[in-house]
């Protein structure tokens, strides 16, 4: 056995390095365990098992009139409801960061042009509107067509189906929030129209538009479906809190 001072110093250094490596590995593993958690298992649906079903065609129990009182949109008996001139409706619950699925259809019979055709809207927090419109062979201003963040950002493409056909919006929404310094931190919209990406992490700020007053921020707000005077239909609406 080599008992020289140099060998002994080398052995001690090697042992310390080894112990240091083990300690570092343990700390990293502990940190990983602290930061990571097992994702919950859900049934992907439809709808996902952790979703809140806001409308399944049976009733309007999750909704109320935007004017107060009961929601009075027409139940069609085929799983859909229809705008009927009684005013916009809003959810009884309020939401912040969400994934939202909405199916909608404009009237099959085409009447009018531009903003007169199948006009409605889906408002996150009652203030941020994704435009609903018959935009199939229907010219209008770009940030007012179907899928627009209304009067704020035009869709990347026009993915509209023919009048009367069912369409889908799948939206990931993060509202703006108040920062530590009191200034709003922008949120974002991502929207797929009929499975096609049309809004890609579009910033949501506290700016004002003609469609809604954006001054200030709120952690939560209701989902609103707009009555714009056209018999637009909705069905299969669900939302997931993020």
In this structure, the answer to whether residues 89 and 145 fall within a common structural domain is yes
Q: Is residue 194 part of a domain?
A: yes
Given pLDDT bands bounded at 50, 70 and 90, which one contains residue 207? low
Same domain assignment for residues 123 and 227: yes
- Asked whether residue 44 is domain-assigned, the answer is no
Q: Are residues 5 and 75 in the same domain?
A: no
Q: In terms of DSSP H, where are the helices of the chain? A: 5-35
Statement to judge: residues 10 and 122 lie in one domain: no
Q: Strand 224-225 relative to strand 89-91: parallel, antiparallel, unpaired? A: antiparallel
How many domains are there within the chain? Answer: 2
Nearest in space to 126 (alpha carbons), one of 170, 70, 177, 88:
88
Which class for 43: exposed (0-12), middle (13-18), buried (19 or more C-beta within 10 A)? exposed
Specify the range with the lowest mean pLDDT, choosing from 25-39, 73-87, 126-140. 25-39
Instruction: Find the mean pLDDT for residues 9-15.
Output: 51
Q: For strand 98-105 and strand 89-91, is the pairing parallel, antiparallel, or unpaired?
A: unpaired
- Report DSSP letters for 157-204, one per residue: S-----TTS-EEEEEEEE--EE-TTSSEEPEEEEEEETTEEEEEEEEE
The pLDDT, as a whole number, for residue 27 is 53
Asked if 131 and 121 touch (Cβ cutoff 8 Å), the reply is: yes
- Cα 42 to its chain centre, rounded Å, is 19
Same-domain pairing of 98 and 211: yes
**pLDDT in the model for residue 13:** 46
User: Cβ-count burial of 87 within 10 angstroms (0-12 exposed, 13-18 middle, 19+ buried)?
Assistant: middle
In a domain, 211, yes or no: yes
Q: For position 208, what pLDDT does the model report?
A: 52
Same structural domain for residues 17 and 103?
no
For residues 110 and 4, membership in a common domain is answered with: no
Confidence band, pLDDT 50/70/90 cuts, at residue 7: very low
Question: Do 19 and 94 share a structural domain?
Answer: no
Residue 83 belongs to some domain of the structure: yes
Q: Are residues 15 and 85 in the same domain?
A: no
The answer to whether residue 188 is domain-embedded is: yes
Q: What is the pLDDT of residues 175-193, one digit of tens each?
A: 999 888 888 899 999 999 9
Beta bridge partners of 100: 171, 239
In angstroms, the CA 74 to CA 179 distance is 42
**In which domain, by residue range, is 79 found?**
52-241
- For residues 15 and 74, membership in a common domain is answered with no
Q: Are 221 and 194 in a shared domain?
A: yes
Within a domain: 193? yes
Domain of 212: which CATH number?
2.60.120.560
* pLDDT higher than 50, residue 16: no
**In this structure, are 158 and 197 located in the same domain?**
yes
Residue 1 lies in a domain: yes
Please tell me the pTM assigned to this model.
Answer: 0.83
> Is position 45 within any domain?
no
Express each pLDDT in 143-183 by its tens digit.
999 999 999 999 999 999 999 999 999 999 999 998 888 88
């Amino acid at each position: 056995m080599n008992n020289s001072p140099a060998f002994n110093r080398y052995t001690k250094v090697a042992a310390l390095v080894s112990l240091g490596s083990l300690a570092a590995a343990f700390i990293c593993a502990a940190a990983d365990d602290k930061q990571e958690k097992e994702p919950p298992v859900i049934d992907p649906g439809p709808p996902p098992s952790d979703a809140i079903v806001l409308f399944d065609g049976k009733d309007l129990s999750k909704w109320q009139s935007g004017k107060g009182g009961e929601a009075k949109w027409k139940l069609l008996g085929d799983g859909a409801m229809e705008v009927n001139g009684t005013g916009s409706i809003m959810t009884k619950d309020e939401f912040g960061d969400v994934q939202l699925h909405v199916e909608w259809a404009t009237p099959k019979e085409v009447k009018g042009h531009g903003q007169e055709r199948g006009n409605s809207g889906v408002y996150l927090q009652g203030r941020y509107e994704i435009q609903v419109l018959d935009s199939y062979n229907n010219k209008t201003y770009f940030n007012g067509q179907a899928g627009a963040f209304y009067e704020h950002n035009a869709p990347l493409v026009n993915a509209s189906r023919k009048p009367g056909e069912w369409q889908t919006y799948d939206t990931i929404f993060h509202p703006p929030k108040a920062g530590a310094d009191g200034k709003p931190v922008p949120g974002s919209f991502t929207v797929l129209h009929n499975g096609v990406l049309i809004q890609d992490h579009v910033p949501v700020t506290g700016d004002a538009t003609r469609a809604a007053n954006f001054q200030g921020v709120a952690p939560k707000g209701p989902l609103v479906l707009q009555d714009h005077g056209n018999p637009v239909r909705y069905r299969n609406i669900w939302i997931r809190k993020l």
